[in-house]
Amino acid sequence: MRRGSPAIPFGRDGSSRFLPALSLLMVFLAGLALAAVMGLERGLARWDESLTGTLTVELPPAGGPGDRSLERALAALRQAPGVKSATPIGRDAVAKLVAPWLGTALSPDELELPQLIDLRLEPTARPDLAGLRARLAQAAPGATLDDHRLWLDGLARVARSAELTALAVLALIGGVAVISVAFATRSGLAVHREVIELLHLMGARDGYVARQFERQALRLAFLGGVGGFALAAAALLALTHASEAAAMLGDRVTLLPALHLRGWNWAVLSALPFVAGLVAMATARLTVLATLRRLP
């Protein structure tokens, strides 16, 4: 027997042929689930960063040239403690915000649009929302204060639920992979039973036999994992390209979510073939040792 060559003829074992295909499928599904988790986490962080310290004040539509409710609201807000800036949003900008729902057939002057104020708070300030609402009610009756944090908290709950679902899918994929590798290893033990008994007669210990199976499982699972990662990367890139190209009625309204994975995200995904190989190696070793201990 050549040095470094396997002592067990795995080429005759048909059950080991399914391990690369199994690893490919598992890594592909795990890559998609993990990319979804990382994409949701990045989206939440971006929304939180952009909305932290910002509020929106909405006033009823202007009643006419003599309506000075916007000026009174701005003066009251700018005098409030903790307020960094209070900037009115022009009618053209408000019309662009509602254009996806109302279209662009009507001009801003023809629409009864509310008056909006972009309110920015000091980074270290703890806003007194009740006090701000009281100031607004006194300066401009009918004005409302929109706290983006309430909307973001609701969105975060939905995103966290989706993340937990994706993590549950990852756990399920890992469990199925472990069970499948254990089944394939037991099948290999049954196929090579005579060779294993001969190795025992020659003085080989259970650890030596286990190393033969764990190396085979590592090699096959890693090769299949590389293929699964390649397919997952192709699917993610295609999804990102499709989301950027999707348009509806001429407006840039994306129909698919854009992932926009960063470098470290791809580094995490590229580690999946190594993880698949290590999981298969550990499972094969434990399965062989547990099975051999029960043999007479």
pLDDT at 15: 62
Say how far apart CA 103 and CA 196 lie, in whole Å.
75
The arithmetic mean of pLDDT across residues 184-191, rounded, is 79
Q: Is the pLDDT of residue 189 over 80?
A: no
Q: Is the pLDDT of residue 203 over 70?
A: yes
Residue 66 binned pLDDT confidence (cut-offs 50, 70, 90): low
| pTM for the model | 0.67
The arithmetic mean of pLDDT across residues 168-197, rounded, is 83
Angle of helix 263-270 versus helix 206-245 axis, rounded to 10 = 150
Q: Please indicate whether residue 73 or residue 277 has the higher confidence score (pLDDT).
A: 277
The arithmetic mean of pLDDT across residues 175-185, rounded, is 87
Q: Is the pLDDT of residue 97 over 70?
A: no
Q: What is the mean pLDDT of the chain?
A: 77
> Residue 15: what are its φ and ψ, rounded to 5°?
-70, -30
The arithmetic mean of pLDDT across residues 122-127, rounded, is 71
Q: Please indicate whether residue 229 or residue 71 has the higher confidence score (pLDDT).
A: 229
Domain residue spans in the chain?
10-49+152-294, 61-142
Grouping H, G, I as helix, E, B as strand and the rest as coil, residue 7 is: coil
Q: Is the pLDDT of residue 249 over 60?
A: no
Q: Is the pLDDT of residue 39 over 60?
A: yes
The arithmetic mean of pLDDT across residues 2-20, rounded, is 65
- Candidates 286, 45, 51, 66; CA nearest to 151 is 51
Residue 148 binned pLDDT confidence (cut-offs 50, 70, 90): low
Q: Is the pLDDT of residue 264 over 80?
A: yes
Which residue in the block uniquely carries the two structure tokens 């009625």? 249
In the numeric block, which tokens belong to residue 113? 């649009």
Q: Is the pLDDT of residue 2 over 50?
A: no
- The full 3-state SS of 170-234, as one line of letters, equals HHHHHHHHHHHHHHHHHHHHHHCHHHHHHHHHCCCCHHHHHHHHHHHHHHHHHHHHHHHHHHHHH
